[in-house]
Amino acid sequence: MDYHNLLQNKTALITAGADGIGYAVAKKFEEAGAKVFVCDINQNAVDMINKKHKNIKAIFCDLRQTQMISSMVESAFDFLGHLNIIVNNAGIAGETAGVGEQSLGGWQECLQVNLTSHFETMRVAVPRMEDGGAILSVASVAGRVGFAYRLPYAATKWGVIGMAKSLAVELGPRGIRVNALLPGIVQGDRQDQVIEAKSKVRGISFKEMKDEILSAASLGRFVTYEDLAEQAYFLCSDLGKNVSGQAISVCGNIEKAN
């Protein structure tokens, strides 16, 4: 088996796919032979992809606006022709604060992006996708444990896992595999923002907060976008043809999440 080109003649829709984890997955899929459609709220990243990539098309879409999702999915089918893979990658960090300081607006925005946009994308796209395909929803290790000061975020990630497990049962007869990918401490600007926010809530330095967070992982290091893209490739290709209904952590062994 050629392990490098297992997505030849396959197509994929990736939400929030122009930057970070989503872009790493899009590039990996393109390298493996797939035709890829991504949406993102970052217009500059969208423009960059459309200039740089032949087999990845990107459009602007604000997934906070539910009414934009149907037209986004329609654009995906116009470009792809058919659909084999969905990667629900959209997500925001949400507010970092004690429950009494959390705002209702922040809670609702976090649910909209992290959970409702996943549901709406699948509600519109799944009836039209090819049998024998794959769906991967990006959750977090926060979907297995409680995260202090991150109530909206953790709640949505538990929800993402619940949707994946339920759809795996529902769509199994069509040969569609559904899994959740649970990143741990992912290296990047967004993680730095989370560490900064938590350090302020806790009243400790950025370094102290970073060291404490990393100490939760046995390997003691950050997860990279490429680590997650490799796992996504496994789960969405024939390498993972018998893996479904699973919540798979890529976290450097955060023991309390096991």
Supply the pLDDT for residue 176.
99
| pLDDT at residue 167 in the model | 99
pLDDT computed for residue 196 by the predictor: 83
Domains of the chain by start residue, with CATH? 11-184+224-249 (3.40.50.720), 185-222 (no CATH)
d(CA 23, CA 99): 33
**Nearest C-alpha neighbor of 96 from the set 148, 49, 149:** 149
Are residues 37 and 76 in contact, defined by beta-carbon separation less than 8 angstroms? yes
Give the pLDDT of residue 2.
64
What pLDDT is attached to residue 23? 98
Q: How much is the pLDDT for 258?
A: 47
Distance from C-alpha of 29 to C-alpha of 229, rounded to nearest angstrom = 8
pLDDT along the chain (258 residues), means of 10: 85 98 98 98 98 98 96 98 98 93 96 98 98 98 88 97 98 99 82 80 84 78 92 98 97 67
- Quote the CA–CA distance of 7 and 87 in Å, as a whole number: 14
| Cα–Cα distance, 213 to 165 (Å, whole number) | 28
Sign (positive/negative) of CA torsion 117, 77, 40, 21? Answer: positive
Separation CA 147–CA 102 (nearest Å): 14
pLDDT of residue 202: 85
Q: Per residue in 108-143, is it b (16+ CB within 10 Å) or e — as a string?
A: ebbbbbbbbbbbbbbebbbeebeeebbbbbbbbbbb
